[in-house]
Amino acid sequence: MKKEERDINDLATDTQTCTEHATEEGEVNSATDEEPKAKHSRPKRRRIGFYGILILAVVFLFAVIGVGTVFLWGYVEAYEDSRIEHVIDYLQGNIDYEYWERSAEIAIASRLTEFESGGAVPIQPHLAKIRDVHYDFRQKTDESTPEAPVYIIRAGARDIGVVRFVPTTDIGYGFNMWEVGSIEFIDTFVDTFYRSIRITASVNAEVEVNGVPVSSGYLDDYEVEYGVTYLIDRIFGDVHISVTEFDGRVSDLSSVENGWYVYPITIPFSKDYNIVIPDDCTVFVDDEPVTRDKITDDAIVPEVFIGAIDPSDIPVFMHRYEFSLSGLYLEPNIAVVDPQGRELTPSLSYDDASDRFELFYIGGFSPEYRELYTGVVEAFIRAYVNFAANVGGNVETNITRLNEHVLRGSELYSRIQATKSAMEWVGGTTVVYNSLTIDNFRPYGDSYFSCEVRYDITNRINRGNRELLGSFEVLFKESGGRWLAVNMMAVGTDE
């Protein structure tokens, strides 16, 4: 009991001591803090706010990190998916040859010449060069942009084309998926598709490639004596070449080497010409006139005049032209045209003096003379036939009527008079004209003309009938306002 009381007393003593000590401290601190209880409670509230803020900050930071991580993950994933290398990787192992075929068709079609534009050009032989090879891709820096990537395709050791990519699906974050927009061959590769060919042929030969004539625009600078060479620098497929010479012959190929097709060369020739034409006509050689300085001094007398007219009275109607032509591949076209623009028809004759053939042109035919003088000629011919057949048996009457159409003093007049006595022995006959043709009137100046006469006559005599066929060239001269016969020259058969 006493012990318990002592303990309680000790506890009270200690409590009092502490209280006094505390009182002393309070007095000391009262100068700076009038409310000691408040001072002891504030540190407790400050510790609770700091931890809250810290917790909130940590939570926010983790939230930001989480959102950022999700965004970054999505961004990286979109970027990775949008990388064009994925399409390229696919192309490297899965080139679509339909792209190549379309590209080849486009590339070739834009380069075809007229020699192949009408037909199909084989593509597969060219595409065989890029099959079963490794493909590499590199960016075409001078043309590629982020919005329109362009890459060069390399097959083996050769750049062959350009691939252009186009955007497809928008996958967010500013990125797109890509696909092939087009694949195009580059010029340097397309150049390997075609080849050049040369064709050498005669200078005036007609050359065709695949049925199309080769024009002078394809002439090459390569010189060939008597020949030409054509250069065609874009041929994609096979060719069929045809060379036709000036005379229509189709030439056979002589040789071909490295795309050079050589055909036979035709050597040109030279030729001397000797032609006789009327004095007032013009000579043309392949539509070019021959100048008058080619005319010789030889005056030519038409054959129908010879022996019929005194040479001193024959005007100059014709001259001989002599000239040489070189560089010929064909016989030139010689044309003789009269002042009215009519072309004369030649005949071939042999000139004994020069020991050569000559083209002999006589005066042009005149339709006007035919209309004007057919009646004159027919009257003469009927009178001549009546005299020659002694129609009616009256020689005197027949020769008198014939002399009315013949120029007195001419060679023809003399021959008729010389045959008068022979006609007296021919009995009276009759004639029937089966046909009588008068044409080819040729005027010689204003005073002469000739024409051709052909007849078919049945001559009835006492011993029976006989057929008379005749063909003559008859020369007439104007005298006293009348046209009279001065010569007859047989050009056919009189049976």
Residue ranges covered by each domain of the chain: 97-190, 195-262, 269-361, 367-490
Q: What is the pLDDT of residue 440?
A: 84
360 pLDDT band, cuts 50/70/90, is: low
At 348, the pLDDT band (50, 70, 90 cuts) reads: low
Q: Residue 30 — pLDDT band, cuts 50, 70, 90? A: very low
Q: What is the pLDDT of residue 357?
A: 59
The top-scoring range by mean pLDDT among 11-20, 119-128, 218-227, 400-409 is: 400-409
The rounded distance, in Å, linking the Cα atoms of 356 and 320 is 13
Q: Write down the pLDDT at residue 425.
A: 66
Output the six-digit token pair for 463: 């011993």
475 band by pLDDT with thresholds 50, 70 and 90: very high
Contacts of 187 (CB under 8 A, 6+ apart): none
pLDDT band at 351 (very low <50, low <70, confident <90, very high): low
Structure confidence at residue 303 (pLDDT)? 79
How high is the pLDDT of residue 4? 42
pLDDT at residue 380, as a whole number: 95
The pLDDT score that the predictor gives to residue 354 is 59
Determine contact, residues 202/248, Cβ cutoff 8 Å: no
pLDDT at 119 over 80: no
In this predicted model, which residue has the larger pLDDT, 86 or 78? 86
- The CATH architecture annotation of domain 367-490 reads Roll (3.10)
Burial of 45 (0-12, 13-18, 19+ CB in 10 A): exposed
- Find tokens 């699906």 and name the residue: 169
Write the pLDDT tens digit of every residue in 304-322.
888 777 777 777 677 777 7
Residue 378 pLDDT greater than 90, yes or no: yes
pLDDT at 147 over 90: no
pLDDT band at 1; cut points 50, 70, 90: very low
pLDDT band at 352 (very low <50, low <70, confident <90, very high): low
16-25, 123-132, 459-468 — which one is most confidently predicted on average?
A: 459-468
Q: Give me 28's structure tokens.
A: 């000391």
Looking at residue 7, its pLDDT comes to 44
Q: How far apart are CA 358 and CA 288, in angstroms?
A: 20
Q: Does 325 have pLDDT greater than 80? A: no
Give residue 365's pLDDT.
Answer: 63
**Mean pLDDT of all residues belonging to the chain:** 78
Mean pLDDT of 109-125: 75
Closest CA to 402 of 485, 474, 480: 485
At residue 14, does pLDDT exceed 60? no
Check pLDDT > 50 for residue 383. yes
Token pair belonging to 273 = 């010409």
Average pLDDT for 231-241: 88
Amino acid 38: pLDDT: 45
Q: How does DSSP classify residue 408?
A: T
pLDDT, tens only, 186-208: 877 877 778 899 999 998 899 99
Identify the weakest region by mean pLDDT among 86-90, 397-401, 473-477.
86-90
Amino acid (1-letter code) at residue 350: Y
Q: Strand, helix or coil at 66?
A: helix
Res 26 pLDDT > 50: no
Q: Cβ atoms within 10 A of the Cβ of 269, count?
A: 12
DSSP lists the bridge partners of residue 429 as 391
DSSP state of 465: E
How many CB atoms are closer than 10 A to CB 185? Answer: 23
Q: What is the pLDDT of residue 220?
A: 92
Residue 31 banded pLDDT, cuts 50, 70, 90: very low
Q: How far, CA to CA in Å, does 338 sit from each of 121, 432, 439? A: 57, 39, 18
Mean pLDDT of 204-223: 92
Orientation angle between helical segments 395-403 and 367-389, nearest 10 degrees: 160
Please report the pLDDT score of residue 446 as a whole number. Answer: 80
Secondary structure (3-state) at 259: coil
